[in-house]
Each structure stands twice: as structure tokens, then as C-alpha cells.
A = this chain, B = another copy of it.
């Protein structure tokens, strides 16, 4: 029966990794849509966002089912709770990709201009943070998760710079306001993706370190008192 339990835990972890792959792809596509101005890619992002929403519910149900039928303890319990939290963060990454895609669509209605914001750099930073946080999850590596949080990746600074550069640009060339505003929203969504990735790193720390720190096995010994 332990085998069935391990299998369910493994399935849950795999499902989260599929979900993570979908979220990463959504961001990748949204940025590609921005670079190529190919709106058919935006449709793919929207389609993917709906699939991510469905997957979120499926994973929540799997986690609830695992808790109900297997009643995991200690490390496994915290893993399952971390999955629920990571799942929510991945769904938010999907939302951010959907937002980027919406803004790319509205950019399309204005002439193409060169703007003082490095969307590709922000996208690549956001994606790297996502990958690092997910690798910490896969490897149950609290130190790696901690470094996602403590290393300054420069994203906040990039976001601030984008905000101020675009604001100054608009003051000088007000006719560029629509494109500048829309691009600022795209930059903000990429900044948010990095934020969600950092939340995932926090969830990994909650899982990996919490079990050691609190030692739920002790509780379990005299637990189940209901």
C-alpha cells in the first residue's frame, strides 16, 4: 500500500511539472508574439491559459484526494501543501502570459516604434527565475530556493527603469503614449512572473525546511486524536 502512496505522490509531482511546462511555454509564446507581432501566437497563449486553468483544478483535486485517502505526514504532507501553493502560482504565471498576449494585440493597432525598455532581457530574467525555482522544487533543494530569493537578479531595477524611461518618453513625445503605456504593462507582467517564481521558491522552502524545523513526526506519534 506504501507503493500506491508513493505512486500518487509521484503522479502529483509529475502533474505539477507538466503544469510548470505549460506556464513556461505560455510566457515563451507571449514574448514571441511581442517580438514577431504574430497574433496567431496570441491565440495559442489564450488557448494555453484555459488549459492551465483546467490543470490547476485537476492538481488541486489530486492533492485533496491524496490528503483524504493517504493522509500523508511530515515531509509528504508539507510537500502536498507546497504543491497546492505552487499550483496557484503557476496559474498566475499563465494569467500574466494571457495579459501580455492581450497587450500585444492592442499594440498591433499602433505604428511600431522603438521604446527604451528591454522586454527580451526582462523575459529572459523571468524565465530564468522560473527555471531556478522549479529546479529547487524538483530537487527539494532549500538552498537553491533560498538563493532564488536572496540573489538580486536586477528585475526590480529593470522594472523601475522601464517605468521611469517610458514616463519620460511620454512627456517628450506624447504621441507615443499608447505604445509606451502598453509596453509598460507588458514589462510589469514579466516582472510579476519573476515575483510568482519567487513565491514558488518560498513554497519550496516551506516544504523542505519546515519538516525539519517543526518535526511533524512527533505530532503524528500522539496525533490523530479526533
* Chain A residues packing against B (C-beta within 8 Å): 1-2, 4-5, 60-61, 63-65, 67-74, 77-78, 81, 84-85, 88, 163, 166-167, 170-175, 177-178, 181, 184, 206, 210, 214, 216, 219-220, 223-226
Contacts and interface: CB of A to CB of B under 8 A. Distances in A.
Contact of A174 (B74, B177, B210): B177
Q: How many copies does the complex hold?
A: 2
Nearest to A89: B88
Contacts of A216: 64-65, 68
A129 to B, nearest CB: 17
Nearest to A8: B226
A69 B163 contact: no
A81 B69 contact: no
A67 B81 contact: yes
A64 B85 CA distance: 12
A69 B167 contact: no
Given A69-B223, A71-B226, A210 B64 contact: yes
A204 to B, nearest CB: 14
Given A68-B74, A216-B68, A226 B170 contact: no
